[in-house]
Amino acid sequence: MASSPDLLQGTLDLLVLKVLALGPLHGWGIAQRISDISEQLLRVNQGSLYPALHRLEGRGLVDAEWTMSETFRRVRVYRLTPAGRRCLTRETRSWHEYTRAVNLILQAG
């Protein structure tokens, strides 16, 4: 945990939206997926993940519903809403612009 880079404020939201764009998932799955895709470079602090999920839900960017897991537990599954999808597109574009700008500066003479 200590070695994982801190996620920039707001970046977590972007990652969650992106992961959910691939398909509905529960909280643990989202954390797992982020970790897998980033080849274990990024680890999501659970203390941030759930508040972020609930915040996104509050903003109407994700939907959540209770389903039954394969072990017959109640599981909360999150799903991207159309508004979330639009937000993802917008945020992705601005992320690219942002990183391009930072890279340009870092690569400067």
Partner 1 sequence: MPTGREMLRNLRMLVARRAVERDLDDELRGHLEMQTRMNVAQGMTPEAARDAAYRVFGSMTYVKEELRAVHGRSTAPVTDLLGRDLRLAARTLLRHRRFTTAIVLILALGIGSATLMFSIVSGVLLRPLPYAHPERIVMIWGNLPNLNMGFQEQPLGGDEFRIMRRSTQAFQTVAAFQTQPFNLGTGVAPERVDGARVTSDFFRTIGVRLAIGRGFARTEETPGRDHVVVLSWALWQRRFSGDTGVIGTTVVLNAEPYVVIGVAPQTFAFPRGAQMPANFQFPPRTQLWVPMRPRQSGPRSLAVIGRMRPDITMARAQEDLDRITRIEDDRQPARTGWFGTRAVPLRTQMIGHVRTMLLILLAAVAVLLAIACANAAQLLLARLQGRRKELALRAAIGASSPRIVRELMIESLLVTALAGVLGTLLGMIGISVARTIGPDRLPRLATVRFDARVALIAIAITMLSGLLFSLLPAIGASHVQLGDALRRGGRRAGDGAAPSPARRMLIAVEVALSVVLLVSSGLLIRSLVHELGGDLGFEAPHGITFEVTLPPLSYPETPLATSTLHPKSVPFFTEALQRLRAIPGVDAAAIGKPLPMSGEQDGSSFFPENGDLRLYSGKQRLAAEYTVASPGLFHALGTPIVSGRDFSVVDQQTTVPVVIINQAMGRWLWPGRNPIGKRLKLGRLTTRSPWMTVVGVVENMKLYSLTQAPRPEMFVPYTQSPFPSFSTMQFLVRSSLPPAQILGPVRRAIASVDPTIPVARVRTVDQLVASVSETARFATLCMSLFGGAALLLAMVGLYGVIAYTVHQRRQEFGIRAALGATRWQIVQLVVRDGLRLTVVGLAAGGVLSVLAGWLLRPMLYEVSVVDPATLAGAGVLLLGAALAACLLPAARASAVRPRAALDDL
Binding interface with partner 1 (CB under 8 A): 1, 26-29, 31-32, 45-47, 50-51, 54-55, 58, 66, 69, 71, 73-76
Which residue, 36 or 97, is less far from partner 1 as judged by CB?
36
Categorise residue 25: left if φ over 0, alpha if ψ from -120 to 50, beta otherwise.
beta
In angstroms, give the least distance from the CB of 3 to partner 1: 13
Spell out the residues 6+ positions from residue 13 whose beta carbon is closer than 8 angstroms to its own. 52, 55, 56, 91
In angstroms, give the least distance from the CB of 69 to partner 1: 7
